């Protein structure tokens, strides 16, 4: 039987006000693949992670998205060209090695007490004081302050630092052209700040991550100065928006389910890993794992020609009934999570900061459950938008003991 053409797949159209989960469920029940209106094919099943992401028949996206937007040079192009996230082959290996050594699981597990203490420091003053902007006052502060501590960034620099993160994070995918000037201005300032930090550690090493990173990269001599600097910028970006949004959505989904929230508050230490696993599955802030086909390949009876951009939709795969029972149900007692959570990617590109993200989220959630078991979500339920990182629109929480 001849293979079907991609033109025969249904279309998934990105808009600002549609139910992404419902739309993807309908498409998944119609066909294994879908076309998008931004030139990217979507693979809709969990099984496609192994087929596409760990396969030698595809590669990670590189500069294709920036080129599609007419960005051929400048700070945004330089970021995408030099960062680990959009690298393949030898470039990926040399950029990842120094980060992986320092962000080992044992080292990041040592960050757990710091994450718990920081969450208590942020939450305690708001207990019994009415609604608080959870996104900005709590969720954004935890990863930003921890990465600042890891890098030795003064707390007084955090406000402008967090603005650079917010602006330059938009450069990782399709961005509003009217925002390009501001994104590039922030990226220039961000690069200069990180370059200065690196120079400080070269001149005056400390016993910290950045000093070790400088020593390792100098000893190996494999990366350019732009690559050395960009990996730190990329590390900060990758660990900020994702953790912030994931914390918000996990807590929000728990607070509207009193039985599960109550069970978690009764045993925060025992359930924190399960809570985070389910929060990351149910409403992921990372929508997909984009790749490019290196050769003609078959995907469930369809011909995917070489050069086709194709992304495994995590929004769809993480609710695939082939893997998850009652996939549209939020359930912290679920026992069918795969050993390796797909939200952190797969294969050579699996997230190097997974251990730190888990430490931050698990300890933050457990600390909130202990400190404020009668907390309530106030106002509208938060929603996540579209884009390479799904941004949260806002969230108010009243912390109560």
- Structural domain contains residue 245: yes
- Alpha-helical (H) ranges within 50-179 are 64-68, 75-82, 89-102, 105-109, 112-123, 134, 141-151, 158-168
pLDDT at 38: 78
pLDDT per position as a tens digit, 253-309: 999 999 999 999 999 999 999 999 999 999 999 999 999 999 999 999 999 999 999
Q: Is 118 helix (H, G, I), strand (E, B) or coil?
A: helix
- The answer to whether residue 76 is domain-embedded is yes
What are the residues whose beta carbons fall under 8 Å from the beta carbon of 134, sequence distance 6 or more? 248, 251, 395, 396, 397
Token pair listed for 164:
């650079």
What range does the domain containing 72 cover? 6-398
3-state secondary structure of 52: helix
pLDDT for position 103: 67
Q: Which two tokens stand for residue 271?
A: 């359930």
The reported pLDDT for the residue numbered 240 is 81
Q: Is the distance from CB of 272 to CB of 365 less than 8 angstroms?
A: yes
* Average pLDDT value for the chain: 92
For residues 297 and 68, give the distance between their C-alpha atoms in angstroms, rounded to a whole number: 24
Strand partners, 312: 43, 289
Highest mean pLDDT among 8-17, 221-230, 350-359: 221-230
Q: Is 383 a member of any domain?
A: yes
Cα separation, 57 vs 296, in Å, equals 8
Q: Is there a domain that residue 299 lies in?
A: yes
Q: For the CA atoms of the chain, what is the radius of gyration?
A: 21
pLDDT(51) > 80: yes
Residue 352 scores a pLDDT above 90: no
Q: Does any domain span residue 198?
A: yes
3-state secondary structure at position 33: strand
Among 107-121, 179-193, 219-233, whose mean pLDDT is lowest? 107-121
State the pLDDT confidence band at 79, using cuts at 50, 70 and 90.
Answer: very high
In the predicted structure, residue 105 carries a pLDDT above the cut 60: no
More confident residue, 99 or 180: 180
Query: Which pair of structure tokens corresponds to residue 225?
Result: 């100065």
SS3 for 248-270, per residue?
Answer: HHHHHHHHCCHHHHHHHHHCHHH
Domain assignment present for residue 342? The answer is: yes
Tracing tokens 């003991």 back to the chain, one arrives at: 401
Residues 6 or more apart in contact with residue 64 via CB below 8 angstroms: 292, 309
First to last CA, the chain: 64
Q: 106 pLDDT exceeds 90?
A: no
CATH number at residue 157: 1.10.630.10
Residues 369-395 have pLDDT tens digits of 999 999 999 999 999 988 778 889 999
- Both tokens of 122, joined, read 């942020």
Structure tokens at 129: 């004081």
Say what the alpha-carbon torsion angle 102, 104, 107, 113 is, to the nearest 10 degrees.
120
Question: 346 vs 117, 247, 340, CA distance in Å?
Answer: 31, 22, 8
CB-based contact 312:320 (threshold 8 Å): no
Q: Is residue 1 assigned to a domain?
A: no
Q: Look at residue 28 and tell me if it is in a domain.
A: yes
Place of tokens 């939200």: 343
Percent of residues in the chain assigned helix, strand, coil, to nearest 5: 55, 10, 35
DSSP per-residue letters across 295-314: S-EEETTEEE-TT-EEEEEH
H/E stretch holding 327: none
Q: Which range has the worst mean pLDDT, 11-15, 31-35, 143-147, 327-331?
A: 11-15
In this prediction, residue 151 carries a pLDDT of: 80
pLDDT computed for residue 212 by the predictor? 86
- Residue 58: count other Cβ atoms within 10 Å of its Cβ: 25
Residues 6+ apart with CB under 8 A from 314: 284, 286, 287, 288, 289, 342, 343
Measured CA to CA, the distance from residue 249 to residue 397 in angstroms comes to 12
pLDDT tens, residue by residue, 158-206: 888 889 988 988 888 888 899 999 999 999 999 999 999 999 999 999 8
CB-count exposure of residue 305 (10 Å: 0-12, 13-18, 19+): exposed
If one counts the domains in the chain, the total is 1
């Amino acid at each position: 039987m001849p293979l079907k053409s991609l033109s025969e797949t249904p279309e998934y159209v990105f808009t600002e006000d549609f139910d992404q989960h419902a739309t993807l469920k309908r498409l998944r029940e119609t066909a294994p693949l879908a076309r998008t209106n931004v030139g990217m094919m979507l693979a809709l099943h969990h099984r496609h992670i192994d087929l596409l992401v760990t396969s030698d028949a595809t590669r990670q996206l590189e500069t294709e998205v920036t080129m599609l937007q007419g960005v051929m040079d400048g700070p945004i192009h330089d970021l995408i060209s030099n960062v680990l996230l959009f690298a393949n082959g030898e470039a990926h290996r040399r950029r990842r090695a120094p980060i992986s050594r320092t962000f080992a699981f044992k080292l990041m597990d040592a960050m757990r007490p710091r994450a718990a203490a920081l969450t208590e420091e942020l939450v305690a003053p708001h207990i019994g004081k009415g609604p608080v902007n959870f996104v900005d006052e709590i969720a954004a502060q935890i990863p930003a302050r921890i990465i600042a501590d890891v890098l030795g960034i003064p707390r007084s620099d955090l406000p402008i630092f967090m603005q650079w993160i917010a602006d330059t994070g938009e450069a990782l995918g399709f961005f509003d052209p009217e925002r390009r000037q501001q994104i590039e201005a922030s990226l220039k300032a961000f690069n200069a700040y990180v370059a200065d930090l690196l120079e400080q550690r070269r001149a005056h090493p400390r016993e910290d991550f950045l000093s070790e990173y400088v020593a390792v990269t100098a000893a190996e001599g494999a990366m350019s100065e732009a690559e050395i600097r960009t990996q730190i910028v990329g590390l900060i970006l990758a660990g900020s928006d994702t953790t912030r949004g994931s914390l918000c959505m996990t807590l929000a989904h728990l607070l509207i389910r009193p039985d599960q929230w109550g069970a978690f508050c009764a045993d925060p230490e025992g359930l924190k890993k399960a809570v985070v696993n389910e929060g990351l599955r149910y409403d992921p802030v990372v929508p997909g794992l984009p790749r490019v086909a290196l050769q003609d390949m078959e995907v469930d009876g369809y011909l995917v020609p070489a050069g086709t951009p194709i992304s495994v939709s995590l929004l769809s795969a993480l609710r695939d009934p082939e893997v998850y029972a009652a996939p549209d149900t939020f359930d912290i007692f679920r026992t069918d999570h795969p050993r390796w959570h797909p939200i952190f990617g797969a294969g050579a590109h699996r997230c190097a900061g997974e251990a730190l993200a888990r430490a931050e989220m698990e300890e933050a959630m457990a600390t909130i459950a202990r400190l404020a078991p009668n907390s309530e979500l106030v106002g509208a339920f938060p929603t996540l938008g579209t884009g390479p990182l799904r941004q949260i629109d806002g969230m108010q929480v009243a912390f109560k003991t």
